[in-house]
């Protein structure tokens, strides 16, 4: 099969074809604008309801880019809410663990003020010695919080400019065709990298590097034609987008992968499997689809599992890459083996990516190049930078 050259550029001419300034990856001033005009304004995914499945369960999100830590709590009334994790007395964290469960109340460990799951302050220790301090004025400080499918989003603007529904409108109906029920958190990775957050994401927004960088790992599970990787499809939806990865004609998993696939779905096997797209459900573009939800969230949909990436900037040259895999619950030792094998199968290509990201970031500081380039198969990576730049310039 041959592909028309510049097929995506022709379909999306508004994305342009100009070289991209390196300054966007190295300038502390540009990074400050990203912080204020992207991260302080846009809806951000901070987790999954499966991290707090029961009323009273909670988890804490370190949002370093906005200098805060958030408490996301599953209320006794079933509603998910988010608060700054900060006691109204003298500022101690209310929840000290990354994840936990309460019976309806959280007590500050410093002096015992107590909050309920709606953030209301319900007990002031030694209350008579706090003249004028009113419980009703000293609840936890709330942050906008909404759930879509199983994903929890927050918005840090005082008044959000759009609803979560509006933010996701270009992609939500399409992604919702995937059945997100029946999965459990299977594994997670958290990588602290010396890299700009956009460089980190760009390598996830194109598969064209697979036959080069991932020659010995992922490349075997995708279709390579004439030495080149060609996406099964790329579509842009507002600031968001999706890429589909092409299944190889004859995928032969390694002997261990074959063994693992007898017991359960594994990531590497799923990468290579051809999918039947009959019926009402989700329609795959390739052997797996990778959705980018602006500005820093990815949902990878595969046959029988899904995974997510959250990419969190810390500074202009440091970012956190959080990876979470969701699988059907494990019932047998064989299924556990398949799942563990799948987890390890993801680790190796990720290490190849990380190593490269850090080298790029270090070298960009040299000033040797003023610009970098994106080709047609990298249009989704270009699209991310375009979207960020529109926000930075106050146009999105």
Least distance from C-beta 249 to Fe ion, angstroms?
Answer: 22
> Looking only at residues 70 through 109 of this chain, which bind ligand FES when binding is defined by CB under 6 A?
87, 89-90, 92, 108
Bond before 382 cis per omega within 30 degrees: no
> Looking only at residues 348 through 367 of this chain, which bind Fe ion when binding is defined by CB under 5 A?
353
Least distance from C-beta 118 to ligand FES, angstroms?
Answer: 18
Residue 113 touches which member of ligand FES, Fe ion, none, C-beta under 5-8 Å by kind = ligand FES
Least distance from C-beta 61 to ligand FES, angstroms?
Answer: 20
Which position among 12, 25, 113, 341 is part of the footprint of ligand FES (CB under 6 A)? 113
- Compute how many residues bind Fe ion; rule: CB under 5 A: 2
Residue 6 touches which member of ligand FES, Fe ion, none, C-beta under 5-8 Å by kind = none
Least distance from C-beta 131 to ligand FES, angstroms?
Answer: 17
Q: Tell me which residue has its CB nearest to Fe ion.
A: 353
Least distance from C-beta 112 to ligand FES, angstroms?
Answer: 6
110 binds ligand FES (CB under 6 A): yes
Given the complex with ligand FES, which of 94 and 338 has the nearer CB atom?
Answer: 94
Given the complex with ligand FES, which of 8 and 115 has the nearer CB atom?
Answer: 115
Least distance from C-beta 68 to ligand FES, angstroms?
Answer: 16
190 binds ligand FES (CB under 6 A): no
Given the complex with Fe ion, which of 353 and 377 has the nearer CB atom?
Answer: 353
Residue 353 touches which member of ligand FES, Fe ion, none, C-beta under 5-8 Å by kind = Fe ion
Given the complex with Fe ion, which of 57 and 202 has the nearer CB atom?
Answer: 202
Least distance from C-beta 73 to ligand FES, angstroms?
Answer: 17
Binding site for Fe ion (CB under 5 A): 203, 353
Binding site for ligand FES (CB under 6 A): 87, 89-90, 92, 108, 110-113
């Amino acid at each position: 099969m041959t592909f028309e050259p510049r097929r995506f550029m022709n379909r999306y001419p508004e994305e342009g074809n100009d070289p991209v300034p390196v300054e966007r990856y190295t300038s502390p001033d540009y990074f400050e604008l990203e912080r204020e005009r992207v991260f302080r304004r846009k809806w951000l995914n901070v987790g999954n309801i499966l991290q707090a499945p029961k009323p009273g369960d909670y988890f804490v999100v370190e949002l370093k880019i906005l200098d805060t830590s958030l408490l996301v709590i599953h209320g006794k009334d079933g509603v998910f809410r988010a608060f700054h994790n900060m006691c109204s007395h003298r500022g101690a964290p209310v929840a000290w663990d990354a994840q936990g469960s309460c019976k309806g109340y959280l007590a500050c460990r410093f002096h015992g003020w107590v909050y309920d799951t709606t953030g209301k302050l319900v007990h002031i220790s030694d209350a008579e010695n706090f003249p004028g301090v009113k419980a009703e004025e000293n609840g936890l400080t709330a942050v906008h919080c909404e759930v879509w499918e199983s994903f929890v989003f927050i918005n840090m603007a005082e008044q959000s400019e759009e609803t979560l529904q509006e933010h996701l409108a270009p992609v939500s109906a399409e992604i919702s065709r995937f059945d997100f029920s029946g999965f459990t958190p299977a594994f997670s990775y958290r990588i602290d990298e010396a890299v700009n957050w956009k460089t980190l994401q760009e390598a996830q927004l194109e598969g064209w590097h697979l036959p080069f960088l991932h020659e010995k790992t992922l490349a075997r599970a995708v279709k390579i034609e004439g030495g080149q990787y060609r996406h099964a499809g790329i579509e842009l939806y507002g600031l968001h987008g999706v890429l589909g990865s092409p299944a190889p004609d004859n995928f032969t998993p390694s002997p261990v992968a074959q063994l693992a696939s007898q017991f359960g779905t594994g990531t590497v096997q799923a990468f290579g499997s051809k999918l039947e797209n009959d019926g009402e459900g989700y329609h795959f573009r390739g052997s797996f689809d990778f959705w980018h939800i602006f500005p820093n969230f990815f949902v990878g949909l595969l046959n029988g599992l899904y995974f997510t990436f959250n990419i969190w900037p810390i500074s202009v040259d440091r970012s956190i890459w959080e990876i979470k895999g969701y699988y059907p619950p494990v019932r047998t030792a064989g299924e556990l083996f398949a799942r563990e094998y799948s987890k390890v199968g993801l680790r190796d290509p990720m290490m190849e990516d990380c190593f490269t990201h850090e080298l790029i970031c270090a070298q960009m500081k040299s000033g040797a190049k003023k610009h970098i380039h994106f080709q047609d198969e990298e249009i989704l990576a270009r699209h991310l930078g375009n979207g960020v730049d529109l926000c930075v310039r106050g146009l999105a």
